[in-house]
């Protein structure tokens, strides 16, 4: 499966929030790299991944945040 770059609108809005999701995204099989642009009004999460967007959304929601795929 090829690597895709997916972007999500989130409510991960500060460094503390990023540190909460970090261990979950770092350990998610198929995620190669990720970052959250907390300066962007939509708090854009960019993920380089080989897994489905639903798996990333489920992981983010598991930690207590929201994520919505941006087309």
CA angle, 50 then 71 then 29, to 5°: 20
Flag whether pLDDT at 52 surpasses 90. Answer: yes
pLDDT at 2: 87
> CA 58: distance to chain centroid?
10
Cα distances (Å, whole numbers) of residue 27 to 19, 30, 56, 57, 59? 13, 9, 11, 15, 10
* pLDDT tens for each residue of 5-47: 999 999 999 999 999 999 999 999 999 999 999 999 999 999 9
pLDDT at 7: 98
Flag whether pLDDT at 1 surpasses 80. Answer: no
Query: pLDDT confidence of 71, banded at 50, 70, 90?
Result: confident
């Amino acid at each position: 499966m090829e690597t895709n770059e997916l972007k999500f609108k989130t409510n991960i809005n500060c460094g503390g929030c990023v540190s909460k999701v970090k261990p979950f995204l770092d350990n998610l099989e198929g995620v190669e790299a990720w970052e959250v642009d907390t300066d962007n009004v939509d708090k854009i999460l960019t993920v380089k991944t080989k897994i489905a967007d639903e798996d990333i959304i489920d992981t983010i929601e598991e930690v207590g945040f929201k994520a919505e795929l941006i087309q």
